Amino acid sequence: MSIKNKNILIGITGGIAAYKIAELVRMFKKEGANVKALLTQNALQFITIKTLETLTQNDVYVNQFKEAQTTVHISLEDWADVFVLAPVSANTISKIANSIADNLLTSVSCAILGTKTPVIIAPSMNVNMWNNKYLQENIKKLSERCTIIEPDCGYLACGDNGKGRLTEPKTIFEKTKEILDKNKPLKDKKIIITAGGTKEKIDPVRFISNFSSGKMGLALADTAYNLGADVHLICTFDTDKNYKVTKVQTALELKEELDKDFNNCDCLIMASAVADYRIKEYNNNKISSKDENLTLEFVKNPDILQEICKNKKKRQTVIGFCLGTEDLIQKASEKIQKKKCDYIIANEAKTALGTDENEVWIIDKNLEIKKIDKNSKTNIAKKILELIYD
């Protein structure tokens, strides 16, 4: 199983075994994963920020009160595909088992434990601390939600011999890959995603389009693929992916591709910006620019989303998008009632077009609304895709 492009957050607490995490980071990076490190203040006694910055090629997080954004624990929670805590001290285990969030690492831990993100805990401590009955009660409590990689037996840094030594980085590495492979809720699901603004041709050299970049649709396709889906991206731009990609230009070409494949899919996400109108008569030759004024006649394009929804089966989910500049929620609510899709994702032009971030409102058939605050389009995509497998 490949972990390429997976987001792995590593939490490091104070203990001599922290030096081993440099090797673990190297293993993840060699496989193409994105890695970020999160440390307690005491962990800095055993491994440096500079070492981890160099290895991860990312900022290292230590003190929540010194970070640029006060909600950094939420951004890290949203970013991570898996959270690996290694080495974890008895002190930190007891804190997160009892929801004590008094530093950035425990804040992130408590936040992630409230989500579906997998958590791996690899403890390291003195043998007598490991055998402490209260510590074992906390381990048992966390094992209901987390994967616990118990420490190895052997000679310990304190001079004792027994159970407490951090398991080898290779073991943590393999367990992380195994868990990421299992954590694919969209496995065996076929999902079609459309992306980008259509181009309606005027003549051989001119067309009418819009400002849609296709970034939201691309984020949805990449995320769905990483979650195990069989993805078919129908887009208006060139992109090289490990899943199926079909390039189209016009609304009619998009409709033609959807007509071919929709019956075979479990879910369609219409994130593309489809032109409402096309030129009535295409000019085979370039239109002369000698005239002061030019009049073009337009005709309405088919309402692809509405037509699709008329033919969808009960097992299929259709998610549409609504982009607006005013009265967004009202117009999106009217749109879902008219189109009869399962969800509408409402977003504003000023925050959505051409950006790497977005904020959206998810509206369902009962007109219940859930807002997702401004975040990266990848994290927004994760939240949208939860609609399919929750």
Active-site residues: which are they? 158
CA distance 138 to 114: 17
Q: Write out 276-303 in H/E/C secondary structure.
A: CEEECCCCCCCCCCCCCCCCCCEEECCC
Residue 56, C-beta contacts closer than 8 angstroms, at least 6 positions apart: 25, 29, 35, 36, 37
| Amino acid symbol at 258 | L
| Amino acid symbol at 10 | I
CA distance 196 to 214: 4
Burial 306-336 (b: 16+ CB within 10 A, else e): eebbeebeeebbbbbbbbbeeebbeebbebb
CA distance 204 to 202: 7
261: β partners: none
Place of tokens 């991570």: 80
CA distance 316 to 332: 21
Reduce the DSSP state of residue 27 to 3 states and report it. helix
Residue 379, C-beta contacts closer than 8 angstroms, at least 6 positions apart: 78, 79
**Encoding tokens for residue 4?**
């390429």
Reduce the DSSP state of residue 271 to 3 states and report it. coil
Reduce the DSSP state of residue 217 to 3 states and report it. helix
Measured N-to-C along each axis, helices 49-56 and 21-30 cross at an angle, to the nearest 10 degrees, of 10
